[in-house]
Structure 1
Amino acid sequence: MRPEFVYNKIVEELMKNKSVAVATIISKEGSGPRDIGAQLVVTEDGVKYGTIGGGSLENIIYEEAVKALREGKPKLLKLALRRDNIPSDAIPTNQLCGGIVQVFINVIHPAPRIIIAGGGNVGKPIADIANVIGFRVVVMDEKEELANPLRYPYAEKTIVGKLPEEVGKLEFGKNDIFIIAYGEVETDYQVLKKLVEMKFPGHIWALCSRNRCSWMIKRLLDEGYDLKDFKGRLHMPAGLDIRSDTPEEIAVSILAEVICVRKQCNIPVNSMDISNILIK
C-alpha cells in the first residue's frame, strides 16, 4: 500500500472526528520483513491500513495499537523476530527472521471540538476564545441572527433550529466538548436530556446557577435516567470559581476549566460543582 494512501486514511479519520494509531518501524537490527519507516494505521473502529510485516509481528503490533487508542497514549515497543536469544526488554513474536525491531505507536487525535448551544452574550465570547486557543467550534442557536457565518466566520458549522432536535442530528466523538449556554431553563434541560439519551461520549458543561443545576440533575434522575456514566464528565455549574462577572470573564472561567479537565491538571475545579455529589 502506497504511503500517500495511508496518509489519506489518517486525514479521513481525523476529519470524521476520530483518532488513529500509527505504528512505525523506527529501528531494525538484522533481518526482518519490513524496513525502517514501514507503517500500520489502526482506526477507532479496528480497521487497519498498511502493513508492518504480517504474521504474529503485525498481530502483536495491531493489538498494542488498539490498546494505545483506548488509553489515548503513545508507546514504544521492542520486538524479537526470533525464538531464542531474546533480549529481556523485547516482546517475542515466534518468528524466524532473526532480527530485532523497534516500533513507535503514536496516537493522533483530531483537533478538539467545542459545540456551544447558545450563541448569545456568553456563547459568543466562549466561541471567540475557544477559536483563539485552537478548538474547532460549532455554534447552535434558535435564532439565525445569533448563529450565522458572519457572526462566527471561523466556525466549523453554525446551526439554527430547535436545539434539542438539532443536537439529535449530530454525531459525536469522545474528544468532543459540549457547552450548554442558551439560558432558557426548559431548553437547557431538554438539550442536556438529549445528550444523556444519546450517551454523549465527551464532557458536558452547563452554564447555570447552583439551584438550576440541582433541579436539572434531579429531574433527570426522577425521570429514570441513569447518570453513572456521566460522573466526572458533567460539570455543573460550569467554570472555575474566579469570581467572574462579565460574559467575557465567564467564558474565561469555563474554558479554563475545560483546559484543566483535558490536561488533568491540579487546579481545583469549581467548588460549586454539584454534579459529582448528586450523581451517585
Structure 2
Amino acid sequence: MRVWRQLTDFVARHKSAALITVHDVKGSAPRETGAHMVVRPDGAFHGTIGGGQLEFRMLDIAREMLAQGRGPARIVDQALGPDLGQCCGGRVKILIETFGPQDLEDLAGLAEVEARDRLFEVACRFEEGRVRREVSSSVGDGPRAGWRETHGEARTPVLLFGAGHVGRALVLSLAPLPFAVRWLDAREDAFPSYLPSNAKAVRMRDPEAEIAEAEPGSLVLVMTHDHPLDMAITAAALKRDFPYVGLIGSATKRARFEKRFRELGLSQGKIGSLVCPIGLHGIADKDPAIIAASVTAQLLQVREKVMKD
C-alpha cells in the first residue's frame, strides 16, 4: 500500500485522516514493525495491522482522535495476550497520528518520493507532540531521541510476454502485489483498455532486445500466441541468470523445446532451470484465472527466496 498517497487523498477529500503504525514488536505479533493502516473520519480504512481485537481497538482510538481534531500523536502499548486475549503472546507499540489540511504539503512531498517505486528511509522524531519526518538519503543511526521508518515498495520486475487469456488474468492477479509488470505483445490491439497501475503495456518490436535490457533479478513469463516466438524468447531468457523463466505449456511442449535448446548449445543446467509447465504442482485446472492464481503464488515464492538470498 502506498501509505502517503492514501493519506494525501483522504485528507484532500475528507479534511482529515489518521495513520496507525506498528511502531515496535516484541515476541509474536500479527504484523511486523512498519505495518500501516490509513483511516478516514467515517471509519473506512486501507491496510491492516493484523486484524482481531488489536486492530478493532486501534481503529476505535483513531476515530476518537479524529473526532477531537488534529492533535498530538499517541503511542499505545499493548500486551496481546493479557490485554486483548490474542494468542500471539507478544507485545506491540502502536503509533497513531492524525492529519489535517495544514499537513497536505508535507504529505504530498512524501507521496512524491513514494511514487518512485523504491524503498526509502525517513528520519523521525517527536516535535511538540507530533511526528516530524525528513526523507533520509543514507542509511545509518536514527536521530537522537528518534527513529527511522522504511517506506515505499521494492517491486520485483516481471517480463510477461503475451496478452492472451492467461496473460490478461495474470496481470490482474499481480495487480495488488509488489511486482512491476512489463507486458509485451507484438499484435495490434492486444491489450485491454484498462491496465493496473503496476503494469505497463509495450508493443513488442524486438523480444531478444527486451531480454537483453531486462533488469537483473527479473522474472520472465513466456505465453505468446506463437510457438516459434515462445522458443526464441525462452532461449534468450535462459542464456541470462534470471531467477525464474516460466513457459506456458505441457510436458510435451517442454520436451520439444528442450531438444531445440540443446541444438542451440544451451547447457543442461540452463535447460533444467526452465519452469514448464508453470504454476504450483497439484493444480491442474486450466481456467485462465486459476492458472494465474497458481503462477502468482509461484512468483511470490520465488520473490521471497530471492529477497532472502
Q: TM-score, normalised by structure 2?
A: 0.48
Give runs of aligned pairs for residues 61-210 of structure 1, distance below 5 A: 110-147=154-191, 150-162=193-205, 164-165=207-208, 167-168=210-211, 170-174=213-217, 176-197=218-239, 199-210=240-251
Distance in 2 between the 1:226 and 1:40 partners?
Answer: 45
Structure 1 residues 153 and 255, CA gap change in structure 2 (3 angstroms): closer
* Deviation by residue 1:40-89 (Cα, 9 ceiling, x = unmatched): 978xxxxxxxxx8xxxxxxxx9xxxxxxxxxxxxxxx9xxxxxxxxxxxx
Distance in 2 between the 1:11 and 1:217 partners?
Answer: 43
Q: What secondary structure, in the 3-state scheme, does the structure 1 residue paired with 2:189 have?
A: helix
Q: What's the counterpart of residue 4 of structure 2?
A: none
- Residue 249 (1) aligns with residue 290 (2): yes
Contact 1:159-1:166 within 8 A present in 2 as well: no
Unaligned runs of 5+ in 2: 1-109, 124-134, 142-147
Q: What's the counterpart of residue 219 of structure 1?
A: 260
Distance in 2 between the 1:245 and 1:137 partners?
Answer: 22
Decide which structure has greater strand share: 2
Distance in 1 between the 2:164 and 2:233 partners?
Answer: 16
Shift of residue 217, structure 1, vs aligned partner? 2.2
Contact 1:113-1:137 within 8 A present in 2 as well: yes
Q: What secondary structure, in the 3-state scheme, does the structure 2 residue paired with 1:146 have?
A: coil
Contact 2:156-2:180 within 8 A present in 1 as well: yes
Shift of residue 237, structure 1, vs aligned partner? 0.9
Distance in 2 between the 1:255 and 1:247 partners?
Answer: 12
Structure 1 residues 219 and 41, CA gap change in structure 2 (3 angstroms): farther
Distance in 2 between the 1:168 and 1:257 partners?
Answer: 21
Q: TM-score, normalised by structure 1?
A: 0.52
Contact 2:261-2:271 within 8 A present in 1 as well: no
Contact 1:204-1:235 within 8 A present in 2 as well: yes
Shift of residue 252, structure 1, vs aligned partner? 1.2
Identity, % of aligned pairs?
17
Contact 1:167-1:194 within 8 A present in 2 as well: no
Contact 2:220-2:246 within 8 A present in 1 as well: yes
Give the alignment's Cα RMSD to 1 decimal: 4.3
Distance in 2 between the 1:258 and 1:209 partners?
Answer: 19
Structure 1 residues 127 and 156, CA gap change in structure 2 (3 angstroms): closer
Unaligned runs of 5+ in 1: 1-6, 25-38, 43-51, 53-60, 62-76, 78-103, 265-280
Q: What secondary structure, in the 3-state scheme, does the structure 2 residue paired with 1:221 have?
A: helix
Distance in 2 between the 1:230 and 1:40 partners?
Answer: 44
Q: Which amino acid aligns with 2:201?
A: T
Shift of residue 188, structure 1, vs aligned partner? 0.5
Q: Which amino acid aligns with 1:260?
A: Q
Number of aligned positions between the proteins: 193
Q: Which amino acid aligns with 1:193?
A: A
Q: What's the counterpart of residue 107 of structure 2?
A: none
